[in-house]
């Protein structure tokens, strides 16, 4: 079983994958994509989000990473 130190060395920022991203943060990670484009991808089902209300949405970092890797492979 890995020690806490070994876990920290593997993932220098453990909160990176647990904290949800705002629309602006997701846009930045996707390469400064416009928020309207991201919302269109959500509506089309290409990108999953966590809806807090009609206007407030968040994104899981692993979902953004999946989306990026999926679209890198298609080029």
pLDDT in tens, 17-49: 579 999 999 999 999 999 999 999 999 999 999
Domains of the chain (ranges; CATH) run 17-73 (1.10.1660)
How much of the chain exceeds pLDDT 70, in percent? Answer: 73
Sign of CA dihedral 30, 35, 39, 40: negative
pLDDT of residue 7: 54
pLDDT of residue 45: 96
pLDDT of residue 46: 96
Q: What is the CA radius of gyration of the chain?
A: 15
List, in sequence order, every residue forming a beta bridge with 51; answer none if it has no partner.
57
């Amino acid at each position: 079983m890995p020690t806490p130190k070994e876990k920290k060395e593997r993932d220098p920022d453990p909160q990176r994958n647990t904290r949800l991203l705002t629309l602006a943060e997701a846009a930045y990670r996707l390469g400064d994509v416009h928020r309207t484009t991201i919302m269109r991808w959500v509506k089309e089902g290409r990108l999953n989000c966590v809806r807090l209300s009609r206007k407030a949405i968040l994104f899981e970092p692993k979902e953004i990473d999946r989306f990026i890797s999926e679209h890198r492979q298609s080029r």
